[in-house]
Structure 1
Amino acid sequence: MTGITTTRLFTALLATAAAPAAAETWDMPTPYGDSVFHTQNITQFAEDVAEATDGELEITVHSAGSLFGHPEIKDAVRRGLAPIGETLMSRLENEDPLFGIDSVPFLAASYEEAQALWDASRPAIEERLAEQGLTLLYAVPWPGQSLYTQEPVESVSDLEGTAFRAYNAATERLATLMGAVPTQIETGDIATAFATGRADAMITSPSTGVSSQAWDFVSTYTELEAWLPKNMVIVNTSAFDALPEEVQTAVMEAAEAAETRGWEMSEAETAAQVAALEENGMQVVQPSETLAAELAEIGDTMTAEWTEQAGEDGQAVIEAYRSE
C-alpha cells in the first residue's frame, strides 16, 4: 500500500469517526388538533427530545388523526407501523378493565385524587402495556367531567326521567343509576340534541361545554369533576430498546417533564374554560351536600361493579389508592 493510499484511508477513517450518528426520525400520530393542550404538550415533548439528543432522535407529530385515526393508533404502535403515539387510555377498556380505571365516576373526583389514583394504577397499566410490547412514557388528564342542566340540581331526584346524554357504557350506566334516561349522543351532535329535545342534561368537561357553546341550551354548570380521563403516550418497546442508551434516557426525562407540564396545563385549561362558561352567562355552582352524598353512593356502586370486572388486580389497585 502506497503512502498516498494509506494517508487517504486514514483520513477517511477519521472522517467516519468524526461524523455524527445518523438521525432517527419517528412519526407520531395523535388524535387531536394543534389547538388542544394535549397536542401542544406533545409538540413541546418532541422539541425537548430533539434538543436533548442533539437531533439524534427527531419526532414528527401528526395531529388530528392525520396519520392514523384514534381507534387505530394503539395497534399501529404495537405493530410498529408508528413507533410512538397518543391515545385515550379508557379506549382500551374493552381489552382490560384496568385501562378504564380513570373513568369510573366519582372514584377520583379532583386533580389531587386523580394523581393519587394514577400513582396507584400506573404499575399495573405499565405491566399490561408491556405484555403487548408497549412502553408507557407519560399520561395527562383531561379536565374533570361536570354536570350541565337547565335548572340547578339539588338532588339526584331532580334528574329523574330526564334525557341524559351518554357517550359510552359508563355514562349510560351512570344515567340509569341517577334515574335518568340515557341517550347516545356524540360530541359533534350535542347542540342539536339539546335543541331538538333529545337531551336535557349531560356530564362532560368544561372544554366540551365551551366548544359546544352550552350556554345556548343550558344555564347551570355544577362542578363535579366526576372523573378525569387521561391520554397516554406509548412507544413500541422494540423501537425504544433499539435507541442508544443516552437517547433512551433523554426520552424518559422529556416524558417525565411532559407529564408534569401536562397536568399543570390541564388544570389551567379547566380554570380558563370554566371562566369562559361563566363569562357567557352560565351559573357555575358547587354540588349541594345532598347531591354530593347521593353521587358518592352511585360512585361506590360503579366502583364495586368495575372492581368485580377487573378482578384481583383491580381490587389491589383500589386498595392501594384508598390507602394513600
Structure 2
Amino acid sequence: MREKGLSEKASLHDNLITHGDNLAALKSLLPTYRGNVKCIYIDPPYNTGKEGWAYNDNVNSPLMRAWLGRVVDRDDLTRHEKWCCMMLPRLKLLRELLREDGVIFVSIDDNEVHHLHCLMDDVFGERNRVGQIIWHGSTDNNPTNIATEHEYIVCYAAKKEELEEVWKSAGFGPKAALQRIGTELLEAHPEPAKRQREYSRWLRKHRAEIKPLDGYKFIDDAGIFAGSRSVHNPGREGYRYDVPHPVTGKPCREPLMGYRFPPPRWSDCWRKIASYSERTSRKSSNSRLTSTTIRRSSAASSKGSTRVAGPTRSGTSSQRIPASSRIPNRLR
C-alpha cells in the first residue's frame, strides 16, 4: 500500500503493508523473501461459524468450485474441510518464507486446533513442533457446563535443531530502570538515610512505570531490594521440607499448606547471610527468614534482634534471630 508508506520510493526491501488476498500476497513475497523470514505470526479464521468468511481460492476441482463465495456457517457440514483447504496452501507458502532458524506462531481456538496440528505436522514436520501456548481470554460468566476462557498459539520451527536452546527476553524495562537508578544513587549518596529518601521520592514519581517491580521499595549499600515475601503456598499442598534455624539449627515450623518454593540449597543461603552481614550493619525489619510470623517487640528493638513467634518442632515457643541475619529480596 504505497499511499500509506513513509518512504519516498516504495521498495520490497522496506517495511511492507500488503492489502489484498493473502494467498496472492504471499506468492508476491516469495521472490524477495524466500528463506529470509525469522518470525511469522498469523491469525486465521477460527471457523466458529459466525465469522462470515468464504472459500475463494482459484481451484479447478468441481467440488471445490461449488464452495466459492459461499459463507461458511455452523450449519455447513463441510466447513472443516473448507477451512483445511484454505489453510494448507498458505501454510506451505509460509514455510517457504521461513529461514532455517525461523518460527511461526498461529492463533487458534478449540474449533480447529486439532485440525491445525495435523496441517502443521504435515507442512513443517512433527519433529519441528516447538509447543503450544495457552492464554486466558475474556471471562465467561454465562451458565454452561464448562466455560471456555482460553485460546491457543501454536508454534512450529522451520528446523527446530537450529533454534536457540533457551528463549529469553533481551531486556526488561522496569528492571533496567531500577538497576540504573540504584547505581546512580549509590554513587551520589553514600549516606544511607539520604539515599533512601531520594530513592523513595523517585519511586513515588515513577511507580506506575516500573510495575510489577514497584514492591522494591528499599535501597542499601548492596543495591535495591524488596520487603518480605510470603513463603507459604496459598490454597493447595506445597513443598514439604525442614528449614533449619540459623542460630539453633533446629527445624522451624512449616506453614499449614507447605512452602510455595522448592527446597533451597542451605549452604548457599548461609553463605549469603554471612556475606550480607559483612556488607552492611544497618538493621532492616523488611524481610523474613522463615515461614513463621516475625514481629519486632519494643524490647527486641532496643537490642537489635527480632523475635520469631510461634512454636517450633523442637517445642520452643519462640526464638531470637539477629537482625543482621535477615536476607532482603534482591533485584537480580
TM-score (norm 2): 0.24
TM-score (norm 1): 0.24
Structure with more of its chain in helix, by fraction:
1
